[in-house]
Amino acid sequence: MSMGPPPKAVQDLPVADTVKAAFGSVFGRFAELIRAALVPLAISFLLYGLQLAARDSQAVTVLVELLLLVPYTLFAGAWHRVVLLGTAAMPAPIVPVWQSRHWRFLGYTLIVTAISYGFSLLYAPLIAPILTQGSTVSLWQALLLLFMLLFGTYVILRLSFVFPAVAVDESYRFADSWRHTKDQGLRLMAAMFLTLLPAMLGLLVILQFVLSIVSAVTGAGDPTALGPVAQVIDLVLRYVIIALSLGVISTAFKTCTGWVPDLPAPPPAPLPGEPPDDGEDS
């Protein structure tokens, strides 16, 4: 978008094609997914280990939740670039280098996280009765909670185009995202739900299957003994879910904004009598 972002969405978001593209971006590039997630996963494992070791400390829990945004930023930024720019956008070193785009990405992530927590404060009075044993929840309370959950998701998705834009170093703001998702929010929600719901169900089946195999091999009759194994598998599968959601957002961003990568400028035409430039240094 070297000429600046368009004033509105350039076309409607095709839901089915977006879902197909999201699955293709993950399962068609699984080797790249593993490479992009390798270091962020390792950092996440270490942070979860710290949280487990100090599980009685609320301060450590909050600190770990904030620090987990760092590996998420590394992975999400890299995966947005892979979806939009192709596999050539994968960083050469396995250990990613923190760049200015990561600071911008992290800053926007903190803002969206704060918005999400704000919505959770609104949900809390409605969720508390559900979590309280023996309490009753009226139909209108359940419907209000469902509406608020869907509205919160709608708002977050309307702001989400800023992340693929930042990942490819575009000058882009929340206002641009809100403008480009006007009249597209419900389509974007539908694409996200149709991608994540079957994926989460499928990965849950995989998790249970793997745990049953581990239990049979190790002879662990107590399900709690598989807790650490389950957490490791759960974290790995969680990155697959994250990659699918990023695929939906990147594809929707590209479709609605008409974004295409900036191409390098062609070499200047030779002057009369000069040999053409073959692009090689003499």
Domain range list for the chain: 15-257
Q: Is the predicted pLDDT of residue 10 greater than 60, yes or no?
A: yes
CA-to-CA distance for 247 and 251, rounded, in angstroms?
6
The overall longest dimension of the chain from CA atoms, in Å, is 91
Average pLDDT, the chain: 84
**Residue at 107: amino acid letter:** G
Q: Is the predicted pLDDT of residue 168 greater than 90, yes or no?
A: yes
Q: Which residue has the higher pLDDT, 60 or 247?
A: 247
pLDDT exceeding 70 applies to what percent of the chain?
Answer: 83
Task: Supply 245's token pair.
Answer: 């959601």
- pLDDT at res. 131: 63
Average pLDDT over residues 47-74: 87
Average pLDDT over residues 249-276: 75
- Quote the pTM value: 0.83
Check: CB of residue 260 under 8 Å from CB of residue 215.
no
Least confident of 133-137, 142-146, 184-188, 205-209: 133-137
Check: CB of residue 60 under 8 Å from CB of residue 51.
yes
- pLDDT at res. 282: 40
